[in-house]
Amino acid sequence: MDLATIIGVVLSFGLVVSAIMMGSSLFVFVSIPSALIVLGGTLGATLIHYPLSNILGVLGVVKNAFFTKLANPSDTIAQFLEYAGRARKEGILSLEPLLKEIDDDYLRKAMQLTVDGVEPQVIQEIMQTEVAYLQERHETGADIFAAMGMYAPALGMIGTVIGLVQMLQSMDDPAAIGPAMAVALITTFYGAVLANLVFNPLSGKLKTRSKEEVLLRELTLEGILSISRGENPRIIEEKLNGFLPPKMRTKME
């Protein structure tokens, strides 16, 4: 579970709710018509913008913001140095028994291609295609949330206009002015909160997660290609350390 995301959600909503309760009851900000306008309108606009399959698929992508924990790149490099040393001493086929111990599907597939004797150029083409489609899936999920972050405030403004129209039509009835004004203001509040505390932050987190995962995939691919070419473990170490900042780089003993 991503601690930063959880802390961010709890902190942002907690402070907003606390500020509301300092001045009034929380139920003052509960409005069913406003929620229907903002939530329903945002969902409807998103369904118009994107195919249904993409909307349903975003549920699988959004878990990356909360639950995905990527492997430590330093540990991955150390793992590749072990593989490279074993392949150099005992041959590339000595890596085949290790395949069942690899949890990462991407690494296992690349390793299997290497053990099968596939040319490095072919391995690179196959695995780069997987990375490209991974980026596309992640970008689609991030774009959907970015679109929802754009639609929510707009629907909030539409709700405000609806509330103002209702208020102007009932100026001769003072009792009806309050509820209409509440719809006018609370819809804007809902749209702003959803856009700035939910949709846009999730979009940004998914883009960050995608970059981290792509970097790890590129590091993995470079390690596999180096092993398939039979390069010296020290050369592999220098290549893979180039993907990391200096503080995270490993040194082979």
Q: What pLDDT digit, counting tens, does each position of 78-91 carry?
A: 888 889 988 888 88
pLDDT band at 151 (very low <50, low <70, confident <90, very high): very high
Residue that the structure tokens 């003072």 belong to: 174
pLDDT band at 253 (very low <50, low <70, confident <90, very high): very low
pLDDT per residue as tens digits for the range 51-75: 988 888 887 777 777 777 777 888 8
User: Tokens standing for 186?
Assistant: 């609370």
Contacting residues for 50 by C-beta, under 8 A, at least 6 apart: 140, 144, 147
The structural domains of the chain, with segments of one domain joined by +, span 1-30, 31-248
Determine the Cα–Cα distance for residues 118 and 225; give it in Å rounded to an integer.
10
Torsion of CA 69, 73, 79, 82, to 10 degrees: -170
Determine the Cα–Cα distance for residues 102 and 92; give it in Å rounded to an integer.
16
Tell whether the model's pLDDT for residue 45 goes beyond 90.
yes
Contacting residues for 74 by C-beta, under 8 A, at least 6 apart: 244, 248, 249, 250
pLDDT per residue as tens digits for the range 216-238: 999 999 999 999 988 888 888 88
The pLDDT score that the predictor gives to residue 1 is: 64
CA 177, distance to chain mean position in Å, is 43
Tell whether the model's pLDDT for residue 197 goes beyond 90.
yes
| First vs last C-alpha separation in the chain | 33
The pLDDT score that the predictor gives to residue 220 is: 92
Angle, helix 73-90 to helix 233-241, in steps of 10 degrees: 160
Tell whether the model's pLDDT for residue 100 goes beyond 80.
yes
Range with the lowest mean pLDDT among 92-96, 174-178, 193-197, 204-208? 174-178
pTM here?
0.81
Tell whether the model's pLDDT for residue 123 goes beyond 90.
yes
The pLDDT score that the predictor gives to residue 250 is: 59
Determine the Cα–Cα distance for residues 59 and 40; give it in Å rounded to an integer.
18
Tell whether the model's pLDDT for residue 251 goes beyond 90.
no
